[in-house]
Structure 1
Amino acid sequence: MKIHFFYYTIILFFLSPYVFWSQNTINGNILDENKEPVFGADIYIEQLHIGTTSNESGMFTLDNIPNGTHKLSISFVGFNTENLEVQIKSKETILEVSLTPSVFHMDEVILSAPFNKLQSENVMKIESKSMEILKKAGAPTLMQSISNIPGVAEITTGTGIGKPVIRGLSGNRVLVYTQGVRLENQQFGNEHGLGMNESGIESVEVIKGPASLLYGSDALGGVLYLNPEKFAYQGETKVDLSQTFLSNTLGSNTSIGFKTSKKKVKFIARGGFNSHADYHIPDGDRVTNSRFTEKDFKTGIGLNLDQFVTEFRYNYNQSEIGIPEGIEEQTTSRSPALPFQDLNTHILSLHNHFYLNKSKIDLNLGYIVNNRKEFEDEHDHGDEEPDFQGGEEEEHESEEAALDMKLKTLSYDLKYNLVKMGQFETIAGLQGMYQENRNFGEEILIPDAITNDIGLLLTSTLSINDKSSLQGGVRYDHRSLSSSDFEKEDPDFPSQDITIAGLDRSFSNFTFSLGYKNVFFDKITSRINLASGFRAPNLAELTSFGVHHGSNRFEVGNPDLESEYNFQLDLSLEYGNKHLEVFANGFYNKLDNYIFANPTGEMIDNYQAFKYVQSDAKLYGGEFGIHLHPHPFDWLHLESTYETVIGEQISGDYLPLIPANKWANTIRVEFKGTEKFNELYAALVLDSFLEQNKVSLNETATPAYNLLHLRMGANLSLQKLNIGMNLSFNNLLDETYISHLSVLKADLIPNPGRNIVLGLNFKFL
């Protein structure tokens, strides 16, 4: 398969004749429970990228709507979100919508699920958080922000490298989607971070559990779905600037965006730049070479033609990330010392929707180029004195990378939304991926290889009534993997090389999902889901032979590994009224052929040797929470959540990299304020991490610790300018601690101390 197909497709769609523009219009009126007009409500049709706001009379107009059935979302702070299914048959459609009050949060339309329903309507429980809310935590990176979602943690190497953990599973077991396409960036290593910038991301959705039915292999443990920033509403042009300062790393995160929208064409562009020095620990020392810089650019174009909508997006991300190895030279330099990573990622996505009156075809194409380079100590000239005025950086640029991998991934996703029959909806799909890995450096972690995926899926949902829904589906996947022979240095005879034989393997599997949702007494929502998943072994697990510096061990692959399979049961209960919200999510996850690195008891090349083996395993636990909004103290919110996961092998030994149990408690106050000075809030957060003594053979226990955070903010509304202000004091008491999922734990290097974070967001109206 040739990747040129992707470019030809882009040219085809963007040079298509501008035939006839659709002239259908939706006119509506938004009212509250007292039949009073709602001013400023957001009205949006996600797949058309068309939106507007209601005026002082509660009225709105949406133009350029193609024939067919569309899901229209109406949201406003303090009210429940309405997700209406509107069928366009004539030139003008008239709606009247009444909103009902909600004191807790706005319901979100879930895009990672196949039928794009509100979370309250979904059969499967999916966590959704807007980036606006996540940013208030004052985290320096996107991954640290996401780790505040219950059930999600991160494996860290300093502050610059973090990778997602969902209910104890990580690496290739968690699939990341961005711009609607799967992100592939050599995610097999613990020191290979998420590789995404928060700039230009609208919201984050987390599927906690097997999602192979929707996404195929590598979604065995769950999916992290990053939704891109929306286009501007019709007829609007917006400019914004965000600036964040972080005291601990002397860090600066900058983002500037521009977007404009006409009836026919939409455009968006955003640039981001992050720069951080080494982080300091509570005793005042800085962790050498934990510094990092990141540049990010995102842009997109949307077109609405008659019966056809297309959206093209592009993201370029470049980062230099130091790999910390101890507490040595104390400096505030931002240029990485050796060893460090240089990462370049290009992400192109093209989303197309063809409306066929009562049915719809979606075609999504993605192309990703990821170039990962690592520069190591042994490649330094050594005798030269570093020039802290820029000579060190110039020297790095002249060095050749020890590790230089280029990964190219072309993905496709074709879905046919069949004609809806009453309350019965069905989607049939074809998904696949063509991936090519090439090495250009001296060091080879994984060989040159070609991976081909293809999958067929069928999923349906049935709305039995307004309280009960049933959803299920089945899928078949096939993955073929072929790799080349490659040579590695023999640790027993350094002057000789040994040959690692190439592979030619294939993996196939059926997966299924079945879920049921029901509402009792109009207050209690229950969900039960059964799902299976699978993951084919990755190249590192199959072919490794050498020192993995990120984990300080000699790893030996196993070419005979089989696919992992799992079966998970999820139970969810939610209760809510005007003043109280309670939830309980429990899961049991059975894994067959779980792959992990097992110590052999030998020393190779002065490192402890680990070989990849397989064993059956299980994980179980859940998330539990309560949110109290006591009357008559409408400004007060009390929240408490507890999350736990236990991972065990069939032998009784524990699995590695299982996060510690966490209990989070929040006291938050919110005030509307005045017309100019509004949306005031303050929050005191106590995160309690319990002792983690259920550890694998190659881990040590982690003691309990508590982290106190203080957060506050407000909004200043001027005539042509809106200024959002956030101030956070993270680890307020400067607690010394080491996270159980820190890669630096083996060297007894603490996590960051106190961090004062100031965020400013300027929106030019």
Structure 2
Amino acid sequence: MKQFLVALILGFSMFASAQNKIIGTITDNQNKPLSRVTISIPEVHKEAISDENGNYNLSNLPSGKFKIVFSFVGFATQSQDVVINQKETTISVQLVEDFHQMDEVIISTAFNKLQSQNVMKVEHQSMKSLQQKGTSTLIEGLATIPGVSQVSTGTSIGKPVIRGLSGNRVLVYSQGVRLENQQFGEEHGLGLNDAGVESVEVIKGPASLLYGSDAIGGVLYFNPEKFGKPNTSELNFNQKYFTNTKGTNSSLGYKLSGDDLKFSARISNNKHADYKIADGDRVTNTRYEELDFKTGLGYSDSNFSTTFRYNYNELDLGIPEEGIAEQTTSKHPDFPKQGVFSHILSLNNSIYFKNSKLDADVGYIINDRSEFEDSDVAILQMKLKTLNYNVKYYLPKFGKFEAIIGTQGMHQTNENSGEELLIPDATTNDYGVFGTVNYEWNKNVIQAGIRYDNRNVTSISNGIIGEEGYFEAIDKKFESFNSSLGFKTNLKENIILRVNLASGFRAPNLAELTSNGVHEGSNRYEIGNSNLENEQNFQTDLNLEYRNPHFELFVNGFYNHINNYIFISPNGNVIDGNDVYDYVQDNAALFGGEAGIHFHPHPFDWLHITSSFESVTGKKSNGDNLPLIPANKWNNSLKTEFKSAKYFKDGFAVLNVEYTLNQNNPSEFETKSNDYTLINLGFGGKVTFGKTAFDVNLNANNLFDKKYTSHLSRLKTDGIPNIGRNIVLGINFNI
């Protein structure tokens, strides 16, 4: 069967008529050939790997002017412009050793530049580096990135927070399409599994210019796992075990690639028991089970490229209501619980013209969420169906000018079938148009853009007027103009300055417009307001970076002013024992930033000392504190690397000390939080026995079993601490 598949893919690849190609040789500064160097042209989704002689071949390339990128761990990333207008072009390069993190191509921004060339500072983290920290979920790994936190309900539910903004104010992209999964609810998690994900890019700040409504606080952009190298097949298996939750995480993946046709598939299964706090008790019904399947099929030639991807995620998770009660290591959630089924289908297409390109992405997402109280009959069931599209035309380059015009849209329906309704049946339609231009000279870049968006929300009435569960019909229209202006320059050879000014907006969500009842996840009777207006913000960002061969420094500062910030406020009434909260609006401001260093002294290049500090403050116009503002955090790591040994290669050991300060500025329905310090250890590398090799990872998180409670934990009001000591063992095989 395997031979048949290989023959089929290679046969399809032969149909592509090779028009243009680039060949060359990669060497180091001693003129020795370098193998396994990645050579890519991101604009046309082409990639190759150099062989043992340093040679590479990129074929079936369209004509035009593109940027070719050469990257390899331990060497400085190089990029250069190339004009492809002949059958064969030769480009050979010499890479220079550099122990800094590789300069990555940023996909989430408009022009897919290297980070060093990008106007906007974007945090890029590979999923491998996040997994090496031993976190049990994707959102836990994201929360280790400076400026990113999580609103958590135990270990099973986590929502991203970027610089104090969360929920519908943070937009998530997966497989190149906008992810919609009922993200308005505090108890609705991210809904993504880290298996089959290559990396994540974090835009901290308004990104409405590129993404429209709901990107007012930032964007999490997940890049899917890359296809295999040309003319190869690969089988991958990895397994993790978590001592605290008795949890297991198993993943099996397969890749098969020809020159132009590529296939991948990965299936994963997670099972975790109730998590254990520092004194040894388990928090009842925080257990969960998850099944995840991802597959992709890609084809590219000199005229176009297309990639189809599908992700199925099934999540069965307990809702903790009893606190510390029944003590069990069962991994099957008890009642009450949630069942979430998600389907994500995406089709990403690029069509290449002589000097321009058209990208067209289409996504279809089904999110089916059910809540079970005491039986397998759902008391609440919501099915959200979303069709979205994103079309961008890259105009022919004119001198040093690059420009993009585009349109985006979304058609979304929400349908209820349970006896209880959290939000009404509704339809949402989005439409937006935008244009952006990039001008680069020497090591300076200016980027500017403008955008118009329109959103229409209609819902049907339900229930009896004056009673809980009544929803009036609404037909609301929201629109907004937004713009951005960014400037990047090298003050000196090793000093980069970035300044960005951008506006953004968010239309009110259905819960804010229509709620009328008890929100079980928050134990509040919430009343919506159909007269709410757009949230409209304007943010100023400043980024300064210094870098030499052995020391790096970064400082990020921001000020974010939001008109018509939507929040809930108690009105003094009580219904059925629940305090009543109204959705209201007020102007607000958030400000703060992140700063950090990375020191690896010569000649001890194997030693890495990193330290970062992050802070955010959120205020309403009357001086009151905004809710869900994370506490300030100081994070320090000492890492050593072992370059080579006979049986153990690419080894590392890391000591991490994470100090979270007091949060003494809670909102009116929050309480203060104490400071705490967590000690984490990590160790890993590649073990080799003959022709058998595998990666191993061992982590001890919260090593000293510290009892602590995060300010953003939704179990904090019940006096329930966060997870205690957790030792994680991971093994990864490539066959």
TM-score, normalising length: structure 1: 0.93
Q: Aligned partners of 2:510 and 2:278: how far apart in 1?
A: 40
Partner of 1:420: 397
Matching residue of 1:336: 333
1:489 positional shift: 9.2
Q: Is the 8 A contact 2:13 2:258 kept in 1?
A: no
Q: Give yes or no for contact 1:488–1:545 (8 Å, CA) kept in 2.
A: no
1:682 maps to which of 627, 633, 653: 653
1:691 correspondence with 2:662: yes
CA RMSD of aligned residues (A): 1.5
| Contact 1:19-1:306 within 8 A present in 2 as well | no
C-alpha separation in 1, matches of 2:692 and 2:205: 43
- Residue 11 of structure 1 corresponds to none
Aligned residue for 2:715, secondary structure, equals: helix
What is the distance in 1 between the residues matched to 2:17 and 2:83? 18
CA shift for structure 1 position 91: 1.3
Show the counterpart of 1:21: 17
Q: Is the 8 A contact 1:83 1:109 kept in 2?
A: no
Aligned pairs for 1:258-337 (under 5 A) are 258-325=254-321, 326-337=323-334
Task: Please list the CA deviations of residues 62-104 of structure 1 after superposition, one character each: whole Å capped at 9, or x if unmatched.
Answer: 2222333343321111111123333321111110122222212
Letter in 1 for 2:390: D
> Is residue 484 of structure 1 aligned with residue 460 of structure 2?
yes
- The answer to whether 1:707 aligns with 2:678 is yes
Partner of 1:142: 138
Give the secondary-structure state (helix, strand or coil) at the position aligned to 1:500.
coil
Distance 1:713 1:638 in 2: 18
Q: 2:683 and 2:415 mapped to 1: Cα distance?
A: 48
The residue that corresponds to 1:757 in the other structure is: 728
Specify the SS of the correspondent of 1:645: strand
Of stretches 43-52 and 471-480 in structure 1, the one that deviates more from structure 2 is 43-52
Q: Deviations over 1:230-257 (max 9, x none)?
A: 0111111111101010000000011111
Instruction: Name the CA distance, whole Å, in 1 between partners of 2:251 and 2:707.
Output: 32
**What is the distance in 2 between the residues matched to 1:762 and 1:188?**
39
* Structure 1 counterpart of 2:629: 658
Corresponding position of 2:433: 456
Instruction: Report how far residue 719 of structure 1 moved.
Output: 5.0
In structure 1, stretches of 5+ residues that fail to align are 1-15, 381-395, 491-495
Distance 2:464 2:141 in 1: 39
Deviations 1:399-428 (A, max 9, x none): 220110000000011100000011110000
Paired with 1:451 and 1:127, the residues of 2 have a C-alpha distance of: 31
Q: Does the residue aligned with 2:470 lie in a helix, a strand or coil? A: strand
What is aligned with 1:367? Answer: 364
1:469 and 2:445 matched: yes
* Residue 180 of structure 1: how far off its partner (Å): 0.4
Deviations 1:495-554 (A, max 9, x none): x66632110000010011100001022011000000000000000000001111111111
Alpha-carbon distance change, 218 to 650 in structure 1, aligned in 2, over 3 angstroms: same
- Give the corresponding residue for 1:557: 528
Return the offset for 1:48.
4.2
Contact 1:49 1:230 in 2 (8 A): no
Shift of 1:464: 1.9
Tell me the SS of whatever aligns to 1:743: coil
Describe the shift of the 1:26–1:602 C-alpha distance in structure 2 as closer, same or farther (beyond 3 A). same
Deviations 1:424-463 (A, max 9, x none): 1000001000101100111111111110000001001100
CA distance in 2, matches of 1:346, 1:107: 33
Q: Output aligned runs, 1:157-556, within 5 Å.
A: 157-325=153-321, 326-376=323-373, 380=374, 396=375, 399-465=376-442, 467-487=443-463, 499-556=470-527
Q: Which amino acid in 2 is paired with 1:65?
A: L
AA aligned to 1:410 is L
Distance 1:333 1:270 in 2: 26
Identify which of 563, 567, 571 aligns with 1:600. Answer: 571
Q: Label 1:250 to 1:470 Cα distance change in 2 as closer, same or farther (>3 A).
A: same
86-95 vs 201-210, which deviates more?
86-95
Partners of 1:486 and 1:675 lie apart in 2 by: 70
Aligned to 2:9: none
Query: 1:368·1:409 contact (CA, 8 Å) conserved in 2?
Result: yes
Which of 63, 76, 79 is residue 67 of structure 1 equivalent to?
Answer: 63
Deviation of the 1:667 alpha carbon = 0.7
Q: For 2:28 and 2:437, how far apart are their aligned partners in 1?
A: 34
- Aligned mates of 1:745, 1:307 — CA distance in 2: 56
Report the equivalent of 1:35.
Answer: 31
Question: Which residue number in structure 2 is paired with residue 580 of structure 1?
Answer: 551
Which whole-Å CA distance do the structure 1 matches of 2:403 and 2:29 have between them? 34
Matches within 5 A, 1:104-119: 104-119=100-115
Residue 103 (structure 1) aligns with: 99
Where 1:64 maps in the other structure, the secondary structure is: coil
Q: For 1:544-577, what per-residue CA distance to the aligned partner results, in whole angstroms no more than 9, with x for missing partners?
A: 0111111111111111100000000000000000
Partner of residue 723 from structure 1, selected from 679, 694, 698: 694
Give secondary structure in 2 for the equivalent of 1:400: coil
Instruction: Confirm or deny: 8 A CA contact 1:164 1:170 kept in the other structure.
Output: yes
Please tell me whether the aligned partners of residues 401 and 437 of structure 2 are also in contact (alpha carbons under 8 angstroms): yes
Asked if the contact 1:236–1:262 (Cα under 8 Å) also holds between the matched residues in 2, the reply is yes
Measured in 2, the distance between the counterparts of 1:74 and 1:340 equals: 49
| Residues in 2 aligned to 1:528 and 1:688: alpha-carbon distance in whole angstroms | 30
Q: Which segment drifts farther, 308-317 or 37-46?
A: 37-46
Count of aligned residue pairs for this structure pair: 723
Shift of 1:672: 0.5
Could you list the per-position Cα deviations for residues 365-410 of structure 1 after superposition, in whole angstroms to 9, with x for gaps in the alignment?
000000001112xxx2xxxxxxxxxxxxxxx5xx220110000000
Q: How much does 1:19 deviate?
A: 7.5
Asked if the contact 1:361–1:416 (Cα under 8 Å) also holds between the matched residues in 2, the reply is yes
Question: Shift of residue 20 of structure 1?
Answer: 5.3
- Distance in 1 (alpha carbons) for counterparts of 2:465 and 2:311: 38
8 Å CA contact retained: 1:50, 1:234: no
- Residues 452 and 481, structure 2, Cα contact 8 Å, conserved in 1: yes
The one-letter code of the counterpart of 1:40 is R
The 1:618/1:488 distance shift into structure 2, 3 A limit, reads farther
2:468·2:517 contact (CA, 8 Å) conserved in 1?
no
Find 2:586's aligned residue among 615, 632, 640: 615
Residue matched to 1:670: 641
Q: What's 1:8 paired with?
A: none
- Percentage of identical aligned residues: 54
1:203, 1:226 within 8 Å by CA — same for their partners in 2? yes
What SS does structure 1 have at the residue aligned with 2:210?
helix
**Distance between the aligned counterparts of 1:132 and 1:445, measured in 2?**
38
Per the alignment, residue 54 of structure 1 pairs with 50
- Measured in 1, the distance between the counterparts of 2:393 and 2:675 equals 50
CA contact (8 A) 1:78 1:102 kept: yes
Partner residue, 1:126: 122
C-alpha contact (below 8 Å) 2:42/2:112 kept by paired residues:
no
Change (3 A) 1:600 1:361: same
Residue of structure 2 in register with 1:10 after alignment: none
Cα distance per residue 1:22-57 (max 9 Å; x no partner):
432210111223433222211233454432221233
Shift of 1:716: 1.6
Partner of 2:41: 45
Structure 2 residues not aligned, in runs of 5+: 1-11
8 A contact 1:70–1:86 mirrored in 2: yes
